[in-house]
């Protein structure tokens, strides 16, 4: 399979970002970093649709979530890096390859890495207070996610594991809704996507297979309630409560041949996937 020009540009962009990041951080005179530990719950909803738009599979369930984060100021900008893992079980309501209805469960483990940055927007007049930030900021983030999904077997159908991988880029905006002496409420929004991901599938009685995913689109909204404004008088410890919701649509991928012991036996492709995640979490931070 010949790589597409878009995939080559995507890899080149990621390489340039990684190569330029150390020198950029040094030039921006970054300040004291903050480390955070978070935990919460995630409601996961997964739908697959055929070429005619009909729903062929629905999964929903609750996942446990933990996260590690690091961030801090770099000049006027701020940055944050985060690793998050969500793990749990979803109820599976779908059908076999022959169209027979089947109900079972799927076990999920999702690892996500994100690197994001925010730059304040001087939309409104600023006061002379050193602890006052602009009400608006624009952001950019790059993320990588791996989803391990194992569908449980039933008396009439064998289960199998899948591994989804994809990069995502997004642009965002943040609005400081309200700020008091001891806390701050902010709202954020993100829009973006990715050109293509992959799904590694181990079907029963077949050779392992890698299926391409179609292009991905995402829209995310969030609310963050945190203790204290950013200033030198704030204590080393702080907390944050988050409510985040994300919608994703991944287009159907191209077909690939299924083989058994190297002999072609069928054709398979990943259908259109629609995901919705809603996360409630709490985070404890310490500035060093």
pLDDT string in tens for the chain (288-residue length): 444 444 454 455 455 445 544 555 455 578 889 999 999 999 999 999 998 999 999 999 999 999 999 999 998 899 999 999 999 999 999 987 677 889 999 999 999 999 999 999 974 444 444 445 689 999 999 999 999 999 999 988 899 999 999 999 999 999 999 988 778 999 999 999 998 899 999 999 999 999 999 999 999 999 999 986 444 455 789 999 999 999 999 999 999 999 999 999 999 999 999 999 999 999 999 988
CATH 2.40.128.100 fits 5-287, yes or no: yes
**Residue among 145, 114, 129, 107 at smallest CA distance from 222:** 114
The predicted structure's pLDDT at residue 218: 96
**Residue among 139, 137, 253 at smallest CA distance from 195:** 253
Between CA 249 and CA 47 the distance in angstroms is 10
Which one-letter DSSP state was computed for residue 251? P
H-helix or E-strand containing 17?
helix 5-27
Domain ranges of the chain: 5-287
The predicted structure's pLDDT at residue 36: 96
Q: Which residues contact 50 (CB under 8 A, 6 or more apart)?
A: 56, 271, 272
The predicted structure's pLDDT at residue 130: 45
The predicted structure's pLDDT at residue 50: 92
Between CA 53 and CA 58 the distance in angstroms is 13
Between CA 221 and CA 174 the distance in angstroms is 10
Give, rounded to a whole angstrom, the gap between the first and last alpha carbons of the chain: 49
The predicted structure's pLDDT at residue 262: 95
The predicted structure's pLDDT at residue 3: 45
The 3-state DSSP class for residue 260 equals strand
The 3-state DSSP class for residue 196 equals coil
């Amino acid at each position: 399979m010949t790589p597409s020009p878009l995939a080559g540009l995507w890899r080149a962009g990621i390489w340039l970002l990684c190569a330029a990041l150390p020198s950029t951080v040094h030039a921006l005179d970054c300040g004291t970093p903050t480390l955070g530990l978070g935990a919460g719950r995630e409601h996961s909803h997964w739908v697959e649709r055929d070429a005619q738009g009909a729903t062929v599979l629905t999964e929903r369930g609750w996942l446990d979530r933990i996260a590690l984060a690091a961030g801090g100021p770099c000049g006027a900008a701020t940055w944050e890096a985060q690793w998050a893992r969500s793990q749990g079980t979803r109820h599976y309501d779908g059908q076999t390859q022959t169209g027979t209805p089947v109900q079972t469960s799927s076990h999920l483990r999702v690892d996500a890495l994100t690197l994001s940055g925010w730059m304040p927007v001087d939309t409104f007049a600023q006061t002379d207070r050193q602890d006052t930030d602009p009400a608006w900021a624009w952001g950019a983030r790059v993320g990588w996610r791996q989803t391990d999904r194992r569908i449980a077997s039933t008396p009439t159908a064998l289960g199998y594991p899948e591994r989804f991988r994809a990069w995502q880029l997004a642009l965002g905006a943040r609005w400081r809704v309200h700020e008091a002496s001891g806390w701050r409420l902010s709202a954020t929004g993100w829009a973006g996507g990715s050109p293509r991901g992959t799904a590694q599938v181990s079907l029963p009685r077949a050779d392992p297979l890698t299926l391409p995913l179609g292009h991905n689109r995402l829209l995310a909204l969030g609310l963050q309630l945190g203790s204290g404004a950013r200033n030198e008088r704030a204590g080393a410890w702080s907390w944050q409560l988050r409510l985040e919701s994300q919608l994703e649509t991944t287009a159907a991928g191209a077909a690939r041949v299924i083989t058994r012991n190297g002999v072609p036996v069928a054709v398979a492709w990943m259908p259109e996937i629609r995901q919705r995640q809603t996360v409630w979490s709490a985070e404890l931070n310490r500035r060093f």
